[in-house]
Structure 1
Amino acid sequence: MSAQQIRPHWHRSSFSGGAEDNCVEVAYDDHEVWVRDSNAPNLPPLSFAHRPWQEFLARLESPTG
């Protein structure tokens, strides 16, 4: 199911460098994670399965990146 079909609750990144016009927003359900640019909320978001998204976040948080 697409993000447009379920009307997800979008969460804005807290790591946007203080500039409120340069934000990434994330939403999720039981099957997918969606990422979109807050400046273009009407464009289709990127879609990821949970496991690759969690692996991506873990790499961001690791000290060696």
Structure 2
Amino acid sequence: MDAQHAWHKSSYSNGSNNNCVEVAEGATVLVRDTQHRDLGHIAYPPQAWVAFVSDLQAWCP
């Protein structure tokens, strides 16, 4: 975690194989790979993130 963002692991990430995605929610939603944090993150508008998560939940309950 860095001082600017409160990162948390996705509830769908499987901790046993270290293939995890971390998310920091705020004015923009930031997403990064836990194995490659040094490569940065992708930023999404909150509305796009909500739509993405909704679609995932509908597709794979």
Report the TM-score when normalising by structure 2: 0.80
**In structure 2, how many angstroms separate the alpha carbons of the residues matched to 1:44 and 1:18?**
20
Higher helix share: 2
**In structure 1, how many angstroms separate the alpha carbons of the residues matched to 2:11 and 2:47?**
22
1:35 corresponds to which residue?
Answer: 31
> Which structure 1 residue ranges, 5 or more long, are not aligned?
none
**In structure 1, how many angstroms separate the alpha carbons of the residues matched to 2:9 and 2:15?**
12
Structure of larger gyration radius: 1
Identify which of 23, 31, 44 aligns with 1:26: 23
> Which structure 2 residue ranges, 5 or more long, are not aligned?
none
Report the TM-score when normalising by structure 1: 0.76
Equivalent pairs, count: 58
Identify which of 4, 9, 12 aligns with 2:6: 9
Q: Percent identity?
A: 34
